[in-house]
Amino acid sequence: MPVIPKKSAQAAAAPHAELERTVAELYAKSKAESLGLSREDFAGILGEIAAKHAPGASAKDLRAFCCSLRIEELALARACAAGHNQAWEAFLLRYRVKLFDIANYITKESSAGRELADSIYADLYGTSMRDGQRTSKLASYTGRGSLEGWLRTVMAQEHVNRYRRQRRLVSLDEESEEGAQFATPEREEVAVVDPRVEAATDEALAALSGEDRLVLAAYFLDGRTLAEIARTLGVHESTISRKLDKLAKSLRKNILANLSRRGMSRRQAQEALQVDVRDLRVSIRDRLTQENAHPSFSEKKAGTGEEPG
Amino acid sequence: MADVPKIVIRRLASRAAQAGKPELHPDANLLTAFAEQSLGSHDRLQVLDHLAQCFECREIVSLAVPELVDAKVVPRSVSAPWLSWPVLRWGAAIACVVVVGAAVALREREAREVRSVEKGAAAVGALPASSPQREAAQSVGSSMASGSTGNIELAQQAPSQKAMTTPIPGSKAEAGAQVEVEGAAQAAKPSERKAAVADLMARAAKDSVIPGRAKDDLAEAQPSSGNSGMAGAVALASPAALVAASQLPRSSPMRVPRWTLSADGMLQRSLDMGRSWESITVSLEASLRALAANGFDIWVGGTAGALYHSEDAGEHWMKVQAIANGQPLTADIIGVEFPDPGHGRLNTASGEVWTTEDAGLTWQRQ
């Protein structure tokens, strides 16, 4: 048995004691005991989440991370996943009605909403088995957002997946009813664009921030309204309007500058931008018909291979 | 909004198509935290980058963002409903201030009126006895003095009137009823009665600082065709005349007097909303037990069937002897009710009930 110097043993024990104190505080705060979770279970859950989202963090950062979690809702979700009855009673009391409300909000239709809510409820309860044990979807909740928000997201993911599956399984009769067989084949537009213009545009787009590209994609590709984009980003829609205006101007300016660097005169560059006046048809919906969903960031990192949204 | 060059949109779509579907998606926890604006900056940038190229996750986030967040984030100046609690609280406070202010103002005004009436009385008293102004003031018939001075004068007037019993000529003989009218001779004249009412009005009027106004009201109240004698008394006692008399105070600013009976059976009247009371001597023999007032029309009843009626707010009184089937009412009257000037009801200590439907001309015993 190796002999640990007294000083280094004390240094190693300090963060451990700090973590123990944090776990004790959060355990009391989460009321996990009344939900049937033991302190060891609770510490294990916190350790699992910290390893997933804050690997290698210092004791101080780890404490800050743990304190930022929705600890009470986390305890409730994990107690439900562990199959404690009192936790399920509390969960149903708090979220049962909300589940149906959220489903109706997402599907915009009551029967589809009920179907979605029932499906999610089954997933939350855990109908699938892994290693002989029932696995509940609530076990993947980490408390980084509210439990209600997480339920919304999970239901939205399920709704999008369902839509994709339905699109894939649509019958020929339905297609013909929709007039698909009479549809004129879309002519592929042969865009004869100067490659310098494409390169200049790509360069200008690459220089944008993720938020700017998100706004452009949501507005011009998805056809979302200013209000919808603003709601997603948590800002006022006038902010989005100003941002789009500013983006349009800066993009034009940057593309012209890039074209100039590529040997075009200013007049040529302006003509190159004005020539491209064809309306672009982007089939957004087609992109929904994907075969498989892909694993999430964290799930991929964790190597669980669980199916994400 | 400035137009984005078409090539930008094309390249955006092309980049998205070329990149294909990202293999890694943020999980529900990250997307939820992003939608709730609770992600750290590093994680947020990662999610933003992903959302910029992943239509599917944009769709999910868009569906997952609750509308409540929209309401919370967007700082919109929502005007509070006008019937909210703060408004009600302030409204109640303002209403209290207004009510208190109105009460104080009213009280102040009344005090000013009383002072002005006293000043008027003092001014009249200060005039020389033979001066025309004093005669004019006395001819109005209203002593402008109020309070104890007026009370003494009124108390002295009533007993000085000599009793006079006058049978009513025959018209009600078939009913077997008789009405005995006791009072001063001038009380039988309607013009004088109305003059007395007007006089009372002038005493109690708020605008008593302008004596001429009382005189104008008096002139307007004079009937064009004068009745005389007993016919006049009967006419005045008729419901129409009573209604006409009762309408007098409505067109004037006068207050209806208040009445009460003292413990020793004396009738008392207040012309200033109960602040001061004057005793009215109706009868020296009887002790009054009950009264009924209807505007300026007042009935009082007392011991041994004593029943008195005044149509001019107690200035002049008639003794009414209720007789039914030749039997006079002799029991003590303990209750008088006149819901309107024509219809009345008496309750006696012996349990009898006497009613009239013609303002006391005839009576029925039940």
Residue A284 touches chain B, beta carbons under 8 Å: yes
**What is this model's ipTM?**
0.76
Predicted local distance difference test score (pLDDT) of residue B150: 36
Predicted local distance difference test score (pLDDT) of residue B202: 56
A116, A219, A224, A231, best to mutate vs chain B, most B CBs in 10 Å? A231
Q: Which residues of B touch A287 (CB under 8 A)?
A: 16, 55-56
Using a pLDDT cut of 70, give the percent of chain B over it. Answer: 54
Q: Which of A218, A248, A282 sits opposite B4 (nearest CB)?
A: A248
Tokens 């300016």 sit on residue = A253
> Which residues neighbour A35 within 8 Å (Cβ) at sequence distance 6 or greater?
A75, A76, A79, A84, A86, A87, A90
Q: Which of A143, A247, A309 sits opposite B25 (nearest CB)?
A: A309
Q: Tell me the two tokens of residue A307.
A: 């199916």
Predicted local distance difference test score (pLDDT) of residue B263: 81
Strand B353-356's sheet: what is its strand order? Answer: B333-337, B344-348, B353-356, B364-365
The answer on pLDDT for B238 being more than 80 is no
Residue A221 touches chain B, beta carbons under 8 Å: yes
Per-residue pLDDT reduced to its tens digit, A55-73 = 877 888 888 888 888 999 9
Hey, are the CB atoms on B12 and A205 less than 8 Å from each other? yes
Q: Tell me the two tokens of residue B276.
A: 């001061």
Contact indicator for B144, B117 with CB cutoff of 8 Å: yes
Per-residue pLDDT reduced to its tens digit, B272-309 = 878 888 888 888 778 888 989 888 888 999 888 899 99
Tokens 């949204």 sit on residue = A309
User: In degrees to the nearest 10, what's the CA dihedral of A22, A23, A27, A32?
Assistant: 150
Residue of B nearest to A210 (CA): B49
> Which residues neighbour A95 within 8 Å (Cβ) at sequence distance 6 or greater?
A147, A148, A151
Hey, are the CB atoms on A297 and B26 less than 8 Å from each other? yes
**How far apart, in whole angstroms, are the C-alpha atoms of residue A200 and residue A252?**
10
Q: Which residues on neighbouring strands pair with residue B364, listed in sequence order?
A: B355
Q: Which residue pairs, CB below 8 angstroms and at least 24 apart, start in B305-311?
A: B305/B329, B305/B330, B305/B331, B305/B332, B305/B333, B305/B348, B306/B333, B307/B333, B307/B336, B307/B346, B307/B360, B308/B282, B308/B283, B309/B237, B309/B360, B311/B193, B311/B236, B311/B237, B311/B242, B311/B245
Q: Letter for the amino acid at B323?
A: I
Mean pLDDT of B64-82: 55
Alpha carbon of A8: minimum distance to chain B alpha carbons (Å)? 33
Predicted local distance difference test score (pLDDT) of residue B102: 92
Q: Which residues of A touch B58 (CB under 8 A)?
A: 214, 217-218, 222, 224, 232
Predicted local distance difference test score (pLDDT) of residue B122: 61
Mean pLDDT of A12-37: 80
Residue of B nearest to A152 (CA): B64
pTM of the predicted model over 0.90 = no
Q: Which residues of A touch B2 (CB under 8 A)?
A: 245, 248-249, 252
Work out the end-to-end distance of chain B between its first and last CA atoms, rounded to an integer number of angstroms.
97
Contact indicator for B308, B319 with CB cutoff of 8 Å: yes
Q: Which residues of B touch A251 (CB under 8 A)?
A: 4-5, 8
**How far apart, in whole angstroms, are the C-alpha atoms of residue A100 and residue A243?**
36
Residue B58 touches chain A, beta carbons under 8 Å: yes
Element (H, E) at A11: helix A6-30
- Lowest mean pLDDT across A149-163, B149-163, B258-272: B149-163
Band (B25; pLDDT cuts 50, 70, 90): confident
Q: Positive or negative, the Cα torsion across B209, B215, B216, B221?
A: positive
Q: Which of A142, A152, A287 sits opposite B64 (nearest CB)?
A: A152
Q: How far is CA B218 from CA A291, B208, B316, in A?
A: 106, 13, 17
Q: Which of A156, A202, A290 sits opposite B64 (nearest CB)?
A: A156
**DSSP E strand stretches across A102-221:** 128-130, 133-135
Band (B14; pLDDT cuts 50, 70, 90): confident
Q: Which position has the higher pLDDT, A4 or A225?
A: A225
How many CA atoms are closer than 13 Å to the CA of B244, on its beta-carbon side?
15
Q: Which residues of B touch A55 (CB under 8 A)?
A: none
**How far apart, in whole angstroms, are the C-alpha atoms of residue A124 and residue A277?**
50
Contact indicator for B283, B161 with CB cutoff of 8 Å: no
Q: Which residues of A touch B36 (CB under 8 A)?
A: 145-146, 149
Residue B26 touches chain A, beta carbons under 8 Å: yes
**How far apart, in whole angstroms, are the C-alpha atoms of residue A43 and residue A64?**
15
Hey, are the CB atoms on B13 and A282 less than 8 Å from each other? yes
Hey, are the CB atoms on A234 and B69 less than 8 Å from each other? yes
Tokens 């000037």 sit on residue = B341
Residue B205 touches chain A, beta carbons under 8 Å: no
The answer on pLDDT for B188 being more than 60 is no
Residue A250 touches chain B, beta carbons under 8 Å: no
> Which residues neighbour A24 within 8 Å (Cβ) at sequence distance 6 or greater?
A39
Per-residue pLDDT reduced to its tens digit, B310-344 = 888 888 888 888 888 888 888 889 999 988 888 89
The answer on pLDDT for B98 being more than 90 is yes
Residue B71 touches chain A, beta carbons under 8 Å: no
Residue A271 touches chain B, beta carbons under 8 Å: no
Q: Which residues on neighbouring strands pair with residue B267, listed in sequence order?
A: B261, B280
A249, A297, A307, best to mutate vs chain B, most B CBs in 10 Å? A297
Residue A66 touches chain B, beta carbons under 8 Å: no
The answer on pLDDT for B137 being more than 50 is no
Alpha carbon of A203: minimum distance to chain B alpha carbons (Å)? 10
Give the distance, in angstroms, between the CA of residue B131 and the centroid of all CA atoms in the same chain.
42
